[in-house]
Amino acid sequence: MTDPAPPQKGVIAVTGATGYIGRATVHAALSKGYGVVALGRRPPDLPGVGFQRYDLKDEGDLSVAPECVAIMHLAADTQAGSRTDIDSEVKAATRVIRAAREHGLALVFVSSQTASPEAATNYGRSKWLVEQIALEVSGCAVRPGLVYGGTQRGLFGQLCALVKSLPILPSFLPAPLVQPIHVDDLATGLIKAVEQGSSGVIRLAQDDPLTFTRFLRILARDRLRVSRMFMPFPAFVLSLISPIAAAVPRAPDLGRIQSLYAMKEMRTSVDLQRLGLDLRSLQDGMHRSGNGRQRRQLGEAKVLLTYILRQRPPSSLLRRYVSATNALYGNDEPLAFPWLVCRFPVLITAFERAAAKQKHSKFKSRLSCAILIAEASPLGAQRFMLSHTVHPAMALFKMAAAVTKDSLVRIGCLALARPLTAALKASEHRAQ
């Protein structure tokens, strides 16, 4: 047994610490000031984490360090996938739960959205059985929705691999509904459950479900940055071929996809609120960085700089704009322009009109940043200064043309003042 980093708030023992959810949970626990002891078969490759030997197949009492305040049971024999051996799962969990009860520790068990006595898979049934044991000792069972984001592991990893390898993706009919949750949000939720001494079943996922097809579409676009065709695929075919696939070693675990059909839609908003957990949007979470902020900043940069320069700016300029706004405004949310403005940056002129009378305008301040960034570049020198003499009549004509265009925008904006002000406000204060 090795010692963890000196804990400030006590130590949390975690089974399955090196798994997909486990790693995120360990990270969240450490950053919240807890020490972590990984219960596992071999020492984890996690810096600052202690280790205690533990095997799902072991028997007898589980010893617990004295500074331990909670046990989180995340381990599951995922190798078996949907072909889980119920008995060994329950036996292993019982051992952990017993230790928690004997030492008076908080207990958090990571269950599944499929947990149910009548679940289609052994996985779902075993999760339900363990939940019952955990609830008996006033433990807490967390049922996460479809976990995604972070490193490509777990079911998320399998889906990534699937999208990567298939040029055409199945769009199952009828489409199963999923309720995603980012792995880091889940980890935060688990730590909060420990901190708040929660008990009972806690459902963690985004409250509105979306179709599995749409989930895959966002995964392809925002995570893997590939475009994929979708072909309708009758779901009953899946149930025909999945037993065959199950018999073939190394075949994709179609059972897990099939199990999506068995997931009952969960109402999660009450639990999220009780834990004080704010979930990131799916688009943000899908982004490799775990939040789409930088992408949104680059989007703002592209619109404003294109508007100023009258041409697509090089990416170096976009990145410089983002660094500058980071230096100036810290974590302030970037502007979220409507789709039409992103497509036609010239429409920023209308926003300028709408913001003209405002004293302190986020939009105007960003636009002035964009002007400075745009000008301080060779492209800006071309745009802001004449490189060679032109005929005075030509110069006069160009100036008159610019003033005329501005007047036309003014007239156009006269009628649209109200919706424009609303659109400007919406882009400045986007609800997350």
Partner 1 sequence: MKDIYDAIIVGSGPAGVSAAFPLLDHGLRVLMIDGDLGISSHLPPASYSEARKADLDQWRWMLGSDFHAMKARAPSSPKFRVPALAGVFSDFLSENRIRTDNFTAIGSLAAGGLSNAWGCGVARFSRHDLAAFPFPADEMLPSYERVTRRIGVSGRSDDDLSDFFGLDDWAQRPIALDGLHTGILARYQARTAKFRRLNIRMGRPRMAALADDLAGRKACDLSSNCLWGCSRDALYNARFDLAVLKKNLNLRHLGGTVADRLVKQGDAWTLHVHDRRSGAAFKVHSRTILLAAGCIASARFVLDYLGLVGKPVRFFSNPTAAFLAWMPRALGAAQQDGFASSQLAMAFTSDQGEDTAYAGLFSTQGLPVGEFLDFLPLAKRYGIDVMRHFLASCVVGNVFFPGSLSEHQLTIAEDGSLHVRGQFSPHLDAAFQTVSRSLSKAMWAVGGIVPPGACILSSPGTDVHYAGSLPMKARPEPGQADAFGEIAGMSGVYAIDGASLPSLPTKSHTLTIMANADRIARRVAARSAATS
Q: How far is the CB of 320 from partner 1 (least distance, A)?
A: 6
Q: Which of positions 353-392 make contact with partner 1 (CB under 8 A)?
A: 353, 367-369, 371-373, 375-378, 381, 383-392
Least distance from partner 1 to the Cβ atom of residue 346, Å? 7
Residues 305-334 that bind partner 1 (CB under 8 A): 307-308, 310, 316, 320, 323-324, 327-328
Query: Toward partner 1, which CB reaches closer, 96 or 423?
Result: 423
Position among 274, 312, 398, 429 found at the interface with partner 1 (CB under 8 A): 398
416 binds partner 1 (CB under 8 A): no
Residues ≥6 apart with Cβ < 8 Å to 408: none
Smaller CB separation from partner 1, 248 or 386: 386
Closest distance between partner 1 and the C-beta of residue 411, in Å? Answer: 13
Binding footprint of partner 1, residue count (CB under 8 A):
47
Question: Please, what is the minimum distance in Å from the beta carbon of residue 395 to partner 1?
Answer: 4
Q: How far is the CB of 204 from partner 1 (least distance, A)?
A: 40
| Minimum CB distance to partner 1 smaller for 225 or for 391 | 391
| 403 touching partner 1, by CB under 8 A | yes
41, 267, 312, 405: residue in contact with partner 1 (rule CB under 8 A): 405
Q: Interface with partner 1 by CB under 8 A: which residues?
A: 307-308, 310, 316, 320, 323-324, 327-328, 346, 348-349, 352-353, 367-369, 371-373, 375-378, 381, 383-396, 398-399, 401-403, 405-406, 409
